[in-house]
Chain A
């Protein structure tokens, strides 16, 4: 346990002593605020998916979830860079001489990234709801802002672990970001738009879509809790692949 605590402590110092993390968090909050404002205006103009209404009102937290489609990219970038930065700056060898156990290193990095993103994501979720509520006017419901924000934090923390694991497996920041964007942003609409059952079902198994179901409390195609389980399964799988590659390949 002491060795794991030390590894987590070291990764914690590393994360906060480069500027990328600050910029990513600022970018995430700006994207969230801007996105929430924009979606709240859509709602005000009556251009919002009717499925989002609850008892005739729009939960401000749901607007934060919509805005997350932009903001989550900043969190994903933060998580991914925490791992791929080791390779792009050549520090991976030094890091592995400090912490030779690949498992411990990946666990420490994932834990630190997940913790920071959980807090940052929850704050972003609150910011999104708080920005959306006044814009929504009479349509708005502020009740669920905090619970939704906590769910956003949990979803993003798991997505961060997916990014760290993929970063460990793929090493290059560009390749890793492309794969993550495909997985979360590009592929889901390609599968959903044709409205073919099989393709939609595949999309529902992807982390971004599953996360969205979880965050919006959808009961279709599966219970919202299962959405979170699916994201968690992606995190575990990415961690396993990242660990295997770290172990198999020379540093």
Chain B
């Protein structure tokens, strides 16, 4: 499945958060989504998922907006915030409701809990989870509908080294299976070993959209390349 942004724009009052983004995210590879804080990454992801309404332009999944899909969780799995579950609800109940909402077989819940390594914690209220466990629950939710598209916002946030390695392997595997994998992260070293392709934005504008090796060319590391691209604005 293809994610297509067409002149995607979002304005919050006087601030232009996303400025005429035109790009395509393709299947079969891990696409890293980079940019300083406030560059418009999360807003862009939210518009792809139909949560924020674009001021103008469109975000499409195989030519249709997210909201046009009858069972969206079977098309797109998203990890947006580490703790998107009600703190009073168990992780397992959260996923049960989620599966029910999109006509996903209830048996799939235990499968993804297993994959995410949540184990016994699944029957505890999610308010008791550590950041890393909340993240694992979110990823279990993203995998629930076995979707062809995965959108992961800062997936390694709060994960221990084992978790980071797991995510790295998982994103690579998902892309290798032919899925479209879009991962935003601040961790440039992580992106350097995970992503095949990079999209870099700053102040809502597209700064780069190229294969990792092309962006790296002539630079000692992704960090160097990134600062050249964003003009050091991440430091401000």
| CB <8 Å contact, B80 and A18 | no
Count A-B contacts at CB 8 Å: 83
CB within 8 Å of B: which A57-100 residues: 85, 89-91, 93-94, 96-100
B interface footprint on A91-123 (CB within 8 Å = 1, 0 otherwise): 101101111110000000000000000000000
**Which of B22-30, B48-56, B179-187, B216-224 has 4 or more CB atoms under 8 Å from chain A?**
B48-56
Query: In the complex the two chains form, what is the Cα distance from A17 to B49 in whole Å?
Result: 26
Query: In the complex the two chains form, what is the Cα distance from A251 to B80 in whole Å?
Result: 13
Residue of A nearest to B67 (CB): A100
Query: In the complex the two chains form, what is the Cα distance from A18 to B66 in whole Å?
Result: 29
Sampled A-B contacts (14; CB under 8 Å):
A6-B101, A6-B102, A6-B103, A10-B97, A10-B101, A14-B97, A18-B89, A89-B87, A90-B81, A90-B83, A94-B84, A98-B72, A98-B102, A100-B67
B34 at the interface (CB under 8 A from A): no
A93-B46, A97-B66 given; name 8 further pairs at CB < 8 Å: A9-B100, A17-B94, A18-B86, A89-B88, A90-B81, A91-B85, A94-B85, A98-B98
B152 at the interface (CB under 8 A from A): no
| A248 CB, nearest partner CB in chain B, Å | 8
Within 8 Å by CB of A101, from B52, B67, B93, lies: B67
Query: In the complex the two chains form, what is the Cα distance from A100 to B102 in whole Å?
Result: 11
Query: In the complex the two chains form, what is the Cα distance from A85 to B51 in whole Å?
Result: 18
| CB <8 Å contact, A10 and B81 | no
B90 at the interface (CB under 8 A from A): yes
A13 at the interface (CB under 8 A from B): yes
| CB <8 Å contact, B87 and A98 | no
User: In the complex, which residues of chain A have a beta carbon less than 8 angstroms from the beta carbon of B98?
Assistant: 10, 94, 98
Query: In the complex the two chains form, what is the Cα distance from A9 to B102 in whole Å?
Result: 10
B112 at the interface (CB under 8 A from A): no
B39 at the interface (CB under 8 A from A): no
A2 at the interface (CB under 8 A from B): yes
User: In the complex, which residues of chain B have a beta carbon less than 8 angstroms from the beta carbon of A17?
Assistant: 89-90, 93-94, 96-97
Query: In the complex the two chains form, what is the Cα distance from A19 to B86 in whole Å?
Result: 11
User: In the complex, which residues of chain A have a beta carbon less than 8 angstroms from the beta carbon of B81?
Assistant: 90, 93
User: In the complex, which residues of chain B have a beta carbon less than 8 angstroms from the beta carbon of A98?
Assistant: 72-73, 98, 101-102
Query: In the complex the two chains form, what is the Cα distance from A13 to B102 in whole Å?
Result: 13
Q: Which A-B residue pairs are the 8 nearest by beta carbons?
A: A10-B101, A100-B67, A94-B84, A17-B93, A251-B51, A13-B97, A98-B101, A250-B52
| B113 CB, nearest partner CB in chain A, Å | 15
Given A94-B80, A97-B72, A100-B66; A85-B102 close (CB under 8 Å): no
User: In the complex, which residues of chain A have a beta carbon less than 8 angstroms from the beta carbon of B72?
Assistant: 97-98, 100
| CB <8 Å contact, B86 and A85 | yes
A20 at the interface (CB under 8 A from B): yes
**Could you tell me how many residues of chain A have their Cβ less than 8 Å away from some Cβ of chain B?**
27
CB within 8 Å of B: which A8-35 residues: 9-11, 13-14, 17-20
Query: In the complex the two chains form, what is the Cα distance from A195 to B73 in whole Å?
Result: 57
User: In the complex, which residues of chain B have a beta carbon less than 8 angstroms from the beta carbon of A9?
Assistant: 100-101
Residue of A nearest to B50 (CB): A100
Query: In the complex the two chains form, what is the Cα distance from A95 to B119 in whole Å?
Result: 24
A7 at the interface (CB under 8 A from B): yes
CB within 8 Å of A: which B51-71 residues: 51-53, 66-67, 69-71
B21 at the interface (CB under 8 A from A): no
Which residue among A13, A14, A20, A98 has the maximum number of chain B CB atoms within 10 Å of its CB? A98
| A25 CB, nearest partner CB in chain B, Å | 16
| B68 CB, nearest partner CB in chain A, Å | 8
A196 at the interface (CB under 8 A from B): no
Query: In the complex the two chains form, what is the Cα distance from A143 to B8 in whole Å?
Result: 66
A3 at the interface (CB under 8 A from B): yes
| CB <8 Å contact, B101 and A99 | yes
Residue of A nearest to B70 (CB): A3
| CB <8 Å contact, A251 and B46 | yes
| CB <8 Å contact, A13 and B88 | no
